[in-house]
Amino acid sequence: MTSPSSPLRAKRRRSALRTAAFMSPWLIGFAVFFAYPLMSTVYFSFTKYDGFRPPVLNGLDNWSYVFTDSPMFWPAMRNTLWLVVVMVSCRVVFGLGIGLLITKIKTGAGIFRTLFYLPYLAPPVAATLGFVFLLNPGTGPVNTGLEALGLPAPGWFTDPDWSKPALTALALWGVGDLMVIFMAALLDVPKEQYEAAELDGAGSWARFRHITLPNISPIILFAVVTGVIQAMQYYTQPLVAGKVAAGQIGGSGQQVEPGYPDKSTLTLPQLVYNLGFQRGDYGTACVLALVLFALSMAFTALLLRRRGGLIGTGD
């Protein structure tokens, strides 16, 4: 093509304007609600700032405080690592198991699917309150049942060793989203491959190992990576569980030590809230916000890394 004639150029300009018009809500939103505040977060992270007096630059003070002196940062990081390793893998394995089960159920599949899915919809605050009650060490139905069976009854949300397993139980209860994703992936596996394998005499484990798993591995990876991102953002459930198990009064103004019991339910997002909004140390809170940002973006990059991406940006 030689130099574009002027009607063509006009057409191009019109189409660029049209694109901009359609994209404008998000372009404005991106600038006002993301790009600008992100830059402010970076700036505040290098200042002493309480939200009232103007921010005063203090170099790397906040950063070195967070990484070396803060009594809360490393416990929060350790909790996050625990949640990423244990909670995410439990959720993926359990979600896959439930997904497999639902594809095998022949009678009443619709009812089973609905029952498995419903807890996923329960509002997190309500679900967490419910689980703190169900797992109440003294009188909760779960421990009553465990004792009746002669099993040890742990302290769950009141015991630092058991609070994260209790949160994991809550997360497994809400595994409905993964069930649906795995179910769709499992039903997409070509039937012919199973039939061929069966003719070759492959048992059910061999078929799962050599046909099912390779076919759904992109979806497993998707579930793992999004699970990791969710685990880093884990906020409402650990916060509410900690507060309610500690018997603390909700509402505003209460200065409470977060992460009850013994910082075992403390997560990074809670720390942002605690430092910024409860202690009025916005500068340090911004450091944590940026740590959270870096971690989330690293894992998002993983999701997008492959050509076409796990998440389907493919053109």
Segment 149 to 168, residues that bind other proteins, using CB under 8 A: none
84 is an interface residue for other proteins by CB under 8 A: no
In the bound state with other proteins, the residue whose beta carbon lies nearer, of 165 and 269, is 269
* Shortest distance in whole angstroms from residue 64 CB to other proteins: 20
In the bound state with other proteins, the residue whose beta carbon lies nearer, of 63 and 273, is 273
* Shortest distance in whole angstroms from residue 303 CB to other proteins: 7
117 is an interface residue for other proteins by CB under 8 A: yes
Residues 224-283 that bind other proteins (CB under 8 A): 229, 232-233, 235-236, 239-240, 243-244, 247-252, 268-269, 272-273, 276-277, 282
| Phi, psi angles (nearest 5°) of residue 190 | -60, 130
* Shortest distance in whole angstroms from residue 253 CB to other proteins: 8
Residues 123-152 that bind other proteins (CB under 8 A): 123-127, 129-131, 133-134, 139, 141, 144
In the bound state with other proteins, the residue whose beta carbon lies nearer, of 57 and 101, is 101
Question: Can you tell me which of 10, 57, 60, 115 binds other proteins, judged by CB under 8 A?
Answer: 115
215 is an interface residue for other proteins by CB under 8 A: no
Q: Comparing C-alpha atoms, which of 246, 280, 253, 102 is closest to residue 181?
A: 102
Angle between helix axes 176-187 and 88-104 (nearest 10 degrees) is 50
Region from 74-82, 84-92, 120-128, 154-162 binding other proteins, contact rule CB under 8 A: 120-128
* Shortest distance in whole angstroms from residue 86 CB to other proteins: 18
d(CA 306, CA 258): 39
* Shortest distance in whole angstroms from residue 243 CB to other proteins: 7
In the bound state with other proteins, the residue whose beta carbon lies nearer, of 84 and 181, is 181
- Exposed e or buried b per residue across 235-261, where buried means at least 16 C-beta atoms within 10 angstroms of its C-beta: eebbbbbbbbbbeeeeeeeeeeebbbb
Identify whether the C-beta of residue 36 lies closer than 8 Å to the C-beta of residue 270.
Answer: no
23 is an interface residue for other proteins by CB under 8 A: yes
Residues 24-43 that bind other proteins (CB under 8 A): 25-26, 28-30, 32-34, 36-38, 40-41
Alpha-helix residue ranges (DSSP H) falling in 1-140: 6-30, 36-45, 61-64, 73-82, 88-104, 109-121, 124-134
* Shortest distance in whole angstroms from residue 162 CB to other proteins: 18
| Phi, psi angles (nearest 5°) of residue 56 | -115, 125
Identify whether the C-beta of residue 174 lies closer than 8 Å to the C-beta of residue 123.
Answer: no
Cβ-count burial of 173 within 10 angstroms (0-12 exposed, 13-18 middle, 19+ buried)?
Answer: middle
Site string for other proteins, 284-313 (x = CB under 8 A): -xx-xxx-xx--xx-xx--xx---xxxxxx
In the bound state with other proteins, the residue whose beta carbon lies nearer, of 6 and 52, is 52
Region from 63-71, 74-82, 111-119, 151-159 binding other proteins, contact rule CB under 8 A: 111-119
For residue 192 the two structure tokens come to 């012919």
Measured in whole angstroms, the distance separating CA 38 from the mean position of its chain's CA atoms is 21
d(CA 80, CA 66): 16
How many residues appear in the chain?
315
192 is an interface residue for other proteins by CB under 8 A: no
Q: Which helix (H) or strand (E) holds 206?
A: helix 204-207
Residues 52-71 that bind other proteins (CB under 8 A): none
Q: Mapped to the 3 state alphabet, what secondary structure does 120-157 carry?
A: HHCCHHHHHHHHHHHCCCCCCHHHHHHHHCCCCCCCHH
